[in-house]
Chains A and B, each alone.
Chain A
């Protein structure tokens, strides 16, 4: 009912094209994340949806109605800004009261002193609403303070409270966590996800942090240069990226990319190694093989399919260890995930052997698009390498 749909949205500032025809359907009640590097147009798209910016062409629909000509105040969307944008001269309670005052009270009822006397009942109801919302966000002890007296996390909650208090049809969030310190950011991720679950309202969330997108969203849209490259649930985007730039952007540490060749019979080779799955036979081209760190494992040097490398850096995350290894005398660099036990004997400068886990490699063509691979039918299998 309140589903939001963006159709062929284009936006250019002068000669710079920021959005190149975006089509996006946002389902009712989902947590949709727009993620991409800075300058990809994700914030602009959100602001077009909010109405703070007009699209150069295309239409914005909310609940089946085109709202291009409807001003932001009348779209009934709530926005949480990166800088929180709380009114610094008002207390938290007054900040949260503002959207209610402006929407639910008439001009005379908003007058100072006289207003509250005229509409005592209404004011009591609004104050009750503010109290309720504050309780949900656990900021009720802070209601009498001004934004300047709060910490970053508390301000963030207050901004959220101001958005929540009037039950909008969707929340728009523009990098709301990027001003918080790392620990709080991770904590707020789970809180936002929980909040989304309990409210059941549509969330449209903009971030440049792929981890936020992966952890919170129902679906995520990866944007680059004004295009949506891939839209889907986080699992799918992570495990099955359709473009090399999506694969590179999503996931930490970054996916390992190795140069390879696709031969005429459809086999993909990297040096002496040949992938077990094949693509449709065609002409021979050079391709890029993507392997995530967890798709590589340390093996004995005697292993037939082992690759050799030299450890350049050991990144210790406690539960996991990432070994950054150089191959072919530094021409190639890969990251391998290992458990602390496996990597206990490895130190920087050591030569190591590692192998890929079968069936995980992703192959991208020269244009960056994914090349589909299929398992070989068993009877035609012949050992090639």
Chain B
């Protein structure tokens, strides 16, 4: 009877949607990554793993991986650490807590593309506020620092256009923009730490705040940290808008800021090379998947969910 089929009506819509909007695009991208398809072409040739071979042999893509990993491994630890630090500080103040929260959260709310323009001005080699501020320090004790002395003698770095500095500058902006979000997550996590545990720690003889942090705060924030680190990793891998805003013409000085998202955009959209674009996408997905799995596996064993 129709009863026997009723379950399909319950799970059907969810299954169809999941298949249509989640699984199918990934499948199509995977298939496409083995072809040389271009948008508008009637057909495409099967090129096997050619696209992947290119990704892992050509120097452009080596630079892509270099830029991506530099960015990720600077932004993740710094924005998680600063987020936690800011959350702990705000949590410990009685007054102005909301004020600080708002300030640190502002960069998260602001559109990064608009902020990029502001940063571009600030970092401008001649009219930018950063370098002109640095110049006022010339002639003081700061010159005993070699780097500073060099800057005074010749000029301070061209932050955004020097290939030795560009990726770190972009990463700095990524940290500036991202840590407020982590701070909010950590603040939420801190509210769920039972106050009695701190009292128990105090009675047990935890005299310094470091001891209380090690004994109570950090372990109790375990679940929050898993979430924060995962989400920050994924967001850092996805960095695109700053790069696009600063370097619309392809990846910064000698492609030192050629991050994966930008590579996908450049290949697939700008140059209409769908095949290679899809291949980078698949590699990107694999990275994110791998990191997520490693992290869950690593942390799940140690994290306590109360």
Contacts and interface: CB of A to CB of B under 8 A. Distances in A.
Interface stretch (A81-89, A115-123, A184-192, A376-384): A81-89
Contact of B200 (A74, A77, A81, A146): A81
A77 B216 CA distance: 20
Contacts of A83: 194, 196
B219 A78 contact: no
Interface in B149-196: 194, 196
B205 A103 contact: yes
A150 interface: no
Contacts of B222: 89
B304 A102 contact: no
Given A72-B202, A146-B304, A85 B196 contact: yes
Contact of A81 (B196, B206, B211): B196
Nearest to A174: B196
A103 B201 CA distance: 12
B286 interface: no
Contacts of A102: 204-207, 211
A99 B304 contact: no
A81 B200 CA distance: 8
B304 A89 contact: yes
A227 to B, nearest CB: 26
A79 B199 contact: yes
A85 B202 contact: no
Interface string A55-87: 000000000000000011110011101110111
A98 B199 contact: no
A85 B197 CA distance: 5
Contacts of A74: 207
B206 to A, nearest CB: 6
B306 interface: yes
A87 B197 contact: yes
Contact of B203 (A77, A90, A148): A77
Contact of B219 (A50, A77, A87): A87
Nearest to B195: A85
B200 A79 contact: yes
B207 A78 contact: no
Contacts of B201: 98
Contacts of A71: 202, 207
Which of A50, A52, A148 has the most chain B CB atoms inside 10 A of its CB? A52
A119 B203 CA distance: 24
B139 to A, nearest CB: 44
Contacts of A72: 199, 202-203
B298 interface: no
A148 B199 contact: no
Interface residues of A, number: 25
Contacts of B211: 102
B304 A88 contact: yes
Given A73-B203, A73-B206, A102-B205, A85 B194 contact: yes
Interface string B207-230: 100010001100110100000000
A162 interface: yes
Contacts of A99: 203-205
Classify chain B's interface size: 20 to 34
Given A52-B199, A83-B196, A89 B219 contact: yes
A73 B209 CA distance: 12
A82 B197 CA distance: 11
B88 to A, nearest CB: 18
A254 B198 CA distance: 39
Given A52-B202, A85-B200, A148 B306 contact: yes
A87 B306 contact: no
A78 B203 contact: yes
Nearest to A165: B204
Given A81-B196, A98-B215, A162 B204 contact: yes
Contacts of B200: 79, 81, 85-87
A98 B214 CA distance: 12
A83 B219 CA distance: 18
Contacts of A89: 219-220, 222, 304
B205 A148 contact: no
A52 B196 CA distance: 10
A87 B216 contact: yes
Contacts of B207: 71, 73-74, 102
Contacts of B219: 87-90
A87 B216 CA distance: 7
A72 B200 CA distance: 10
Interface in A85-113: 85-90, 98-99, 102-103
Nearest to B303: A89
Contacts of A85: 194, 196-197, 199-200
A73 B201 CA distance: 8
A82 B200 CA distance: 11
B197 A73 contact: no
B194 A148 contact: no
Contacts of B194: 83, 85
Contacts of A81: 196, 199-200
A77 B204 CA distance: 9
A149 to B, nearest CB: 11
A77 B205 CA distance: 10
Contacts of A98: 201, 204, 215
A257 to B, nearest CB: 38
Contacts of A148: 304, 306
21 contacts: A71-B207, A72-B203, A73-B204, A77-B203, A79-B203, A81-B199, A85-B196, A85-B197, A87-B215, A87-B216, A87-B219, A88-B220, A88-B306, A89-B219, A98-B201, A98-B204, A99-B205, A102-B206, A102-B207, A103-B205, A148-B306
Closest 6 CB pairs of A and B: A102-B205, A85-B200, A89-B219, A99-B204, A89-B304, A85-B196
